[in-house]
Amino acid sequence: MSTKATVEKLVSLCKRRGIVFQSSEIYGGIGGFWDYGPLGVELKNNIKRAWWKAVVQERDDMVGLDAAIVMNPTVWKASGHLDTFADPMVDCKDCKRRFRADELARHVPASAHGHAAEAPILRCPECGGELTEPRMFNLMFRTYVGPVEDDASVAYLRPETAQGMFVNFGNVLQTTRKKLPFGIAQIGKAFRNEITPGNFIFRDREFEQMEIEYFVKPGTDEEWHQHWVEERHRWYLNLGLSPERLRVRRLDREELAHYAKDTYEVEYLFPMGWSELEGIANRTDFDLGRHAEFSGRVLEYFDEETGEHVVPYVIEPSSGVDRLLMAFLMDAYDEEEVRGETRAILRLHKDLAPTKVAVLPLSRNEQLVPPAREVWALLRPHWMTQYDDAQAIGRRYRRQDEVGTPYCVTIDFDTLTDQAVTIRERDSMEQVRVPIANLVAALREKLD
Ligand code: ATP
């Protein structure tokens, strides 16, 4: 990430260029919900595609799944979410603002923590007012299934995609005949009624997860855990995140979730500090064991080699698309001086760039527009493209740089006689002349 990136600049760029909008903005918005604009949806799809390719398509031990968002509520009893998926919440008695007690405590200087056995007395960070006692607040969104709103019809929007994979373990095993070790991957929406959403799209109430449940023989779990930590770390580096702003951190014992034997986090250095992009947990046989207990079904694997039934251990790499999108944008953002002007540029990996090629006639001259439109039609079946003929060519290059388009193709007056166009590369600004007949092949070599 260039030191020039700030959250404010990113929010402004995302709004101005149609990457991320505040949800229901014309009604004043709604906290923790965001809409992805025309370029944002492309970027998001590209992140998901890159992940799916790496963890499903290119592997022989992974399959995909797309489970429902609303599940039988017993799932959440078995998983522990109904009892434990809660954060401590405090309110300011004066200004009425609401905070997560654990987050406030984290900002108390170490000396205050170390002092007495009782918790330090915290004040409202906004107005210094007195705070209420912490109350536990369950983060799951509740809804009702069917026309009657009573206790029997209560259901929840899933707070993670993981449980859909655990409860389908038997179905997937039977239908794919996979042998251990194997994994299930899923991308989908998750919902958490976060007490304090914020930092743009970092912490949302509706977000998308990309999760893997990788089932292994007990005893081989630690080895597979290391495998996935390395694989996932490498994935971020391959997509161009700056190595010095990316780290893998092993959680301390006291940080572990109730189901985890060991957990690593892939963290990115955002302007607000090192923050989690992905958690990679060893969940042991906790989930399959609990679902077997609550459903009365057998959720085991028959090992033909040993003739034994085993409950597999699970390694879970779990990441959030929205958080990753923010990290990729922050990391790619740069500004540089070109001929006395500042150009803002997103140095996005070409696989992630929302638009791969922009087609730009030198001007709106009536002789240039028809061949430019033909070139555009030639490229559209192959890549996401944009056509832009408004304003001076230099400004149009800047507009494409700002949204990370790796290549611009320019049609000028020479095109009318030599049937060739200019390809301009985003980062180096180098230009090469290519016959239109070779354009698709030339771009394919650069992009694929
Ligand atoms: P945090 O500690 O930041 O609340 P978590 O440890 O609760 O996160 P997990 O339950 O491990 O998060 O979820 C896996 C991934 O899902 C996270 O690494 C993150 O990328 C994403 N994620 C979780 N909660 C949110 C949220 N509220 N908004 C956006 N992404 C989220």
Q: Per-residue confidence at 111, pLDDT binned at 50, 70, 90?
A: very low
- Distance (Å) from CA 29 to ligand 1 centroid: 22
Compute the average pLDDT of residues 369-389: 98
Compute the average pLDDT of residues 213-220: 98
**Could you report the per-residue pLDDT of 276-309, keeping only the tens digit for each?**
999 999 999 999 999 999 999 999 999 999 999 9
Pocket test of ligand 1: the residue of 23, 106, 318 to mutate, having most ligand atoms within 8 Å of its CB, is 318
Task: Give the chain's mean pLDDT.
Answer: 94
Compute the average pLDDT of residues 143-152: 94
Residues 6+ apart with CB under 8 A from 182: 61, 62, 63, 176, 214, 215
Q: What distance in Å separates the CA atoms of residue 78 and residue 169, rounded to the nearest whole number?
A: 15
Q: What distance in Å separates the CA atoms of residue 23 and residue 160, rounded to the nearest whole number?
A: 21
Angle at CA 349, nearest 5°, toward 345 and 351? 130
Does the pLDDT at position 437 exceed 70? yes
- Distance (Å) from CA 351 to ligand 1 centroid: 24
Percent of the chain residues topping a pLDDT of 70: 96
pLDDT at 110: 41
Q: What distance in Å separates the CA atoms of residue 173 and residue 258, rounded to the nearest whole number?
A: 27
Q: What distance in Å separates the CA atoms of residue 102 and residue 108, rounded to the nearest whole number?
A: 10
pLDDT at 117: 39
pLDDT at 338: 86
Does the pLDDT at position 353 exceed 70? yes
- Distance (Å) from CA 21 to ligand 1 centroid: 21
Q: What distance in Å separates the CA atoms of residue 193 and residue 78, rounded to the nearest whole number?
A: 20
Pocket test of ligand 1: the residue of 191, 209, 274 to mutate, having most ligand atoms within 8 Å of its CB, is 209
Among the atoms of ligand 1, which is closest to the Cα of residue 265? 18
- Distance (Å) from CA 153 to ligand 1 centroid: 28
Q: What distance in Å separates the CA atoms of residue 322 and residue 19, rounded to the nearest whole number?
A: 12
Instruction: Kindly write down the DSSP assignment for every residue of 247-314, as one continuous string.
Output: EEEEPPGGGS-TT-SEEEEEEEEETTEEEEEEEEEEEETHHHHHHHHHH-----EEETTTTEEE--EE
Among the atoms of ligand 1, which is closest to the Cα of residue 324? 20
Neighbouring C-alpha atoms within 13 Å toward the C-beta of 298: 7
Minimum CA distance residue for ligand 1 atom 31? 320
**291: which 2 tokens?**
């679902």
- Distance (Å) from CA 385 to ligand 1 centroid: 33
- Distance (Å) from CA 32 to ligand 1 centroid: 13
pLDDT at 43: 98
- Distance (Å) from CA 99 to ligand 1 centroid: 18
**Could you report the per-residue pLDDT of 180-211, keeping only the tens digit for each?**
999 999 999 999 999 999 999 999 999 999 99
Does the pLDDT at position 103 exceed 90? no
Residues 6+ apart with CB under 8 A from 190: 157, 158, 159, 160, 161, 206, 207, 208, 209
Q: What distance in Å separates the CA atoms of residue 260 and residue 263, rounded to the nearest whole number?
A: 7
pLDDT at 4: 80
- Cβ atoms 248, 274 nearer than 8 A: no
Q: What distance in Å separates the CA atoms of residue 203 and residue 194, rounded to the nearest whole number?
A: 8
DSSP alpha helices (H): ranges in 53-153? 74-79, 81-84, 101-106, 110-114
pLDDT at 443: 98
Compute the average pLDDT of residues 219-248: 98
Compute the average pLDDT of residues 343-372: 97
Confidence (pTM): 0.93
Ligand 1 cavity residues, CB under 6 Å: 160, 192, 194, 203-204, 207, 209, 276-279, 318-320, 322-323
pLDDT at 121: 64
Does the pLDDT at position 3 exceed 80? no
Does the pLDDT at position 24 exceed 60? yes
**Could you report the per-residue pLDDT of 318-347, keeping only the tens digit for each?**
999 999 999 999 999 999 998 888 889 999
Does the pLDDT at position 109 exceed 70? no
Q: Is 142 helix (H, G, I), strand (E, B) or coil?
A: strand
Compute the average pLDDT of residues 389-411: 96
pLDDT at 120: 58
Pocket test of ligand 1: the residue of 207, 228, 280, 282 to mutate, having most ligand atoms within 8 Å of its CB, is 207
